Amino acid sequence: MSKGKKEKKIIKAKTGNRSIAKKNKLTSNKSVRFVYMDHAATTPVDARVMKAMLPYFDKYYANPSSLHAPGQVAGAAVFNSRNSIAEILNAHADEMVFVSGGTASDNLAVVGTVNSSAVEIKKLFGADALPHVITSAIEHPAVLEPLIKLERKGKIELTQLKPEKNGVLRVKDVVDAINERTVLISIMYANNEVGSVQPIAEIGKAIIKYRKSKNIAYPYFHTDACQAAGFFDLNFEKLHVDLMTLNGGKIYGPKGIGLLFVRRGVKIEPMIYGGGQERRLRSGTENVPGIVGLAKALELAQAKREKESDRLIKLRDRLIDGLLKIEKSRLNGDAKKRLPNNVNISFMDIEGEAAMLYLDAKGIYCSTGSACASRALDPSHVILALGLSYEAAHGSLRFTLGQSTTKKDVDYVIKELPDVVRKLRAISPVSLDMKQF
Amino acid sequence: MTNKKAQKSVDIAPAKNGGSGFYSDIVKEHFFHPKNFMEDDKAYKADGQGMVGSPACGDVMRVWIKVDKKSERVKDLKWKTFGCASAIAATSMMSVMVTEGEGMTLEEARKLRPQDITERLHGLPTRKIHCSVLGDKALRSAINDYYRKQGETDKIEIESGRIIDKVLKITDHDIEEAVLEGATNLEEVQSKTKVGTGDETCIPEVEQLIRFYREKFFGAE
């Protein structure tokens, strides 16, 4: 009895909300642990963030555009939040554009710059000339999908660069892909699936060198830093980026709020028209609690990023070492150049969704690159872009650690996963050679 | 087995789980505690076996059967599946349906449709339907194998209709059925049949067939 009580306590302490575990229909065992290892999908909101946000729902609820006193209180909160984030990015407050999330920010960055540059490209290179955009094949769909759409509509020419097998791009490949019509290069800071970290500062430097040599303003450089924001330096001058995407839901802040950093001088068109908020780039009444929450979350995450990175790297490597002891397994992405919280491993001869749901029943919550877990019928485009097989993508599991993750959690996964793999292999008719992996 | 009319009216949409991504209790039972799966295929003396799918497209199902030669009833069915929860649960349920009571006759077993299995599972989430459509093909393949081994080659039935997707053994009839059930484009037909995920080269032909059957049943657009 006392054991059951103790475990319940663990659940409460970790989530503050036991009902999630309780409500989970696939969880038959009532005393299972609650090991959330899907922080790349989203993080819980930090209590301090929530506290900072709360007054802006019912006390200081006025519209920040209003000139009356309550409006000015809300306006001041937005002003302060803007300044606080700008300081972290070493940028100006007027370079912060609040939007409704990471996807909205990515979309605005790529579509907005393409649209604003199209006229100029036609003026320079003739009516048939198209703006050229470079991105990576492992980009988040929030960048890839709008670009693919623009390409299909005949509005841009698109180059999707393949990374090396470890998921890291070569700076030279990026530079070699630039031509005189290249208006935008969009490369994520760190990959959400396999955790590979890109050499953003070096790519940025090379782009600036190119612009200087040609004496032109293009190509712009955009990076999606949503996964990186809790672990790495976001100083835009050190990264040499012109546009940068951040959001709340990956850094213990609220969902539904994002930010696009737009360097002064960058020409960009809005996608949403209306009252002209956010320097006309994102009309619509500001999400004041969200903005306050994003600023607070970013401040907290950046303050402890080095310490937290060190702590998570130890846990990450412990988990990797433990799981790679399972036969016929492989680590996806680079062993060193990867996010401190990301573990992505493929297990041969089993399918990821089945493994994920077996883990779910044990109170371990992760995700998979298998086709069966996606809305489309295709397995992870990231794992395939690394040159790995469909089998590797179908059998991949991603564990992303976070602030609540303890050594005990890691050891629990190391203890439970071999059994899941064994069970699923026992009913699998497939037994592939590692070479095919 | 139900009559043909009743079979046609079976709604494979997840009417019973409200379209949510969650699985029914029966799916969970078969997924977490699979029935009749093959534990030692080397020691098992099968009268027939069949396999369908490929690991690259995410589903492989293998079926072994033992047949009572006199009554031509399936006495035992063992299986192995590489696939997601739906795929595992569907094969497990199929093994129960084929062998329960005195066992289905080979004739009955051949007529088993994925919809029948889905119904017994109390529905599957819509985007999971395609995971359940391969088990019955593996079973038919095993039945053919049985007849081949018995030397009764006249009883071998090639998948009725013309095979379009060679890897998943999906026929023009499967596509016709998907269109009749409301699929209007490649994506929707894929979500019901998985066609083309094993053999991409067949996609242009699939699209042509979809247009053909749509015009046939619903008139030109």
ipTM score of complex: 0.82
The pLDDT value recorded for residue A24 is: 47
- A372 to B190: CB separation less than 8 angstroms, yes or no: no
One-character DSSP codes across A347-371: ETTS-HHHHHHHHHHTTEE-EE--G
What is B13-157's CATH number, 3.90.1170.50, 3.40.30.10, 3.90.1010.10, 3.30.450.20? 3.90.1010.10
Note whether residue A40 is domain-resident.
no
Q: Give the pLDDT confidence of A134-171 residue by residue, as tens digits.
A: 999 999 999 999 999 999 999 999 999 999 999 999 99
Looking at A268, A303, A338, which one is the last position of a domain?
A303
Does the pLDDT of residue B14 top 80, yes or no? Answer: no
Chain A nearest CA to B49, separation (Å): 12
Residue contact A354–B84, C-beta within 8 A: yes
pLDDT over 60 at B50, yes or no: yes
Q: Which residues of B touch A373 (CB under 8 A)?
A: 84
Tell me the one-letter amino acid at B28: K
The CA distance from A95 to A429, in Å, is 56
What chain A residue is nearest to B22 in terms of C-alpha separation? A25
Cβ contacts of B28 on chain A, cutoff 8 Å: 25-26, 28
Give residue A145's pLDDT: 96
A200 and A347 fall within a common domain: no
Residues from chain B that touch A429, judged by Cβ atoms under 8 A, are 51, 60-62, 80-82
pLDDT tens-digit map of A57-73: 999 999 999 999 999 99
Range of the domain at A425: 305-436
Contact B7, B115 (CB under 8 A): yes
Band of pLDDT at residue B189, cut at 50, 70 and 90: confident
Are A314 and A260 members of one domain? no
Query: Which range, of A307-321, B92-106, B175-189, averages the lowest pLDDT?
Result: B175-189
Whether residue B57 lies within 8 A of chain A, CB to CB, comes out as yes
Count residue pairs from A and B with Cβ separation < 8 A: 82
- Same domain for A293 and A372, yes or no, is no
Rounded to whole angstroms, the Cα distance separating A99 from B166 reads 48
Q: How far apart are CA A292 and CA A257, in angstroms?
A: 10
Average pLDDT, integer, range A64-88: 97
pLDDT at A36 over 50: yes
What burial class does residue B46 get, using C-beta atoms within 10 Å of its C-beta: 0-12 exposed, 13-18 middle, 19+ buried?
A: buried
Q: What is the pLDDT of residue A408?
A: 97
Coil, helix or strand at residue A265? coil
- Asked if A62 contacts A71 with a C-beta cutoff of 8 angstroms, the reply is yes
Q: What are the phi and psi torsion angles at B158 (to 5°)?
A: -65, 145
**In terms of C-beta density within 10 A (0-12 exposed, 13-18 middle, 19 or more buried), how is residue A283 classed?**
middle
Show residues of chain A in contact with B81, CB under 8 Å: 427-429
Task: Give the gap in angstroms from C-alpha A430 to the nearest C-alpha of chain B.
Answer: 7
Q: Is the pLDDT of residue A427 over 90?
A: yes
pLDDT of residue B177: 85
Domain layout of chain B by residue ranges = 13-157, 160-221
Which residues of chain A are within 8 Å of residue B186 when distances are taken between CB atoms? none
For residue B13, the model assigns a pLDDT of 39
Within this chain, do residues A354 and A417 fall inside the same structural domain, yes or no? yes
**Residue A97: which pLDDT band, with cuts at 50, 70 and 90?**
very high
- Given a cut of 90, whether residue B157 has pLDDT beyond it is no
Q: Which of residues 109-168 of B touch A (CB under 8 A)?
A: 127-128, 130-131
The C-alpha of B40 sits at a distance from chain A's nearest C-alpha, in angstroms, of: 9
Query: Which residues from chain A sit within 8 angstroms of residue B51, using beta carbons?
Result: 429
Residue of A nearest to B126 (CA): A375
CATH 1.10.10.1100 for the B160-221 domain, yes or no: yes
A369 in Cβ contact with A396 (< 8 Å): yes
Rounded CA gap, A424 and B82, in Å? 8
Q: Are A153 and A219 found together in one domain?
A: yes
CB contact under 8 A, A372 and B131: yes
The CA distance from A395 to A373, in Å, is 11
CB A166 within 8 A of CB A342: no
Neighbours of A306 (CB within 10 A): 12
CA angle B61, B27, A410 (to 5 degrees): 85
Q: String of b and e for B137-165 (b: at least 16 CB within 10 Å)? A: bbbbbbbbbbbeeeeeeeeeeebeeebbb
Task: Give the per-residue pLDDT at A374.
Answer: 67
For position A70, what pLDDT does the model report? 97
**DSSP characters for B134-153?**
SHHHHHHHHHHHHHHHHT-G
What confidence score (pLDDT) does residue A376 get?
A: 62
β-bridge mates for residue A220, sequence order = A184
pLDDT digits (tens, 9 = 90+) for A351-410: 999 999 999 999 999 999 887 766 666 789 999 999 998 889 999 999 999 999 999 999
Report the pLDDT value the prediction gives residue B176, as an integer from 0 to 100.
85
Distance CA(B108)–CA(B92), nearest Å, equals 18
- What confidence score (pLDDT) does residue B100 get? 96
Whether A426 sits inside 8 A of B31 (CB atoms) is no
Nearest to A124 by CA among A183, A189, A70, A206: A183
Sign of the C-alpha dihedral computed for residues A188, A403, A57 and A22 taken in this order: positive
Q: Are residues A123 and A150 in the same domain?
A: yes
**pLDDT-based confidence at B56, cuts 50/70/90?**
confident
Confidence grade of residue B161 (pLDDT, cut at 50, 70, 90): confident
State residue A16's pLDDT score. 41
Query: What percentage of chain A carries pLDDT values higher than 90?
Result: 87
Alpha carbon of B41: minimum distance to chain A alpha carbons (Å): 10
Asked if residue A20 has pLDDT above 50, the reply is no
Q: Do B81 and A428 touch (CB under 8 A)?
A: yes
Average pLDDT over residues A115-128: 94
- Catalytic, B202? Answer no
Please give the mean pLDDT across all residues of chain A.
Answer: 92
**Given CB atoms, is B88 within the 8 Å cutoff of chain A?**
yes
User: Smallest CA–CA separation between A426 and chain B, in Å?
Assistant: 7
Residues linked to residue A432 through DSSP beta bridges, in sequence order: none
pLDDT digits (tens, 9 = 90+) for A259-268: 999 999 999 9
Check B81 against A349: CB less than 8 A apart.
no
The number of distinct structural domains making up chain A is: 2
Please give the model's pTM, rounded to 2 decimal places.
Answer: 0.85
User: Which among A282, A303, A324 is the end of a domain?
Assistant: A303
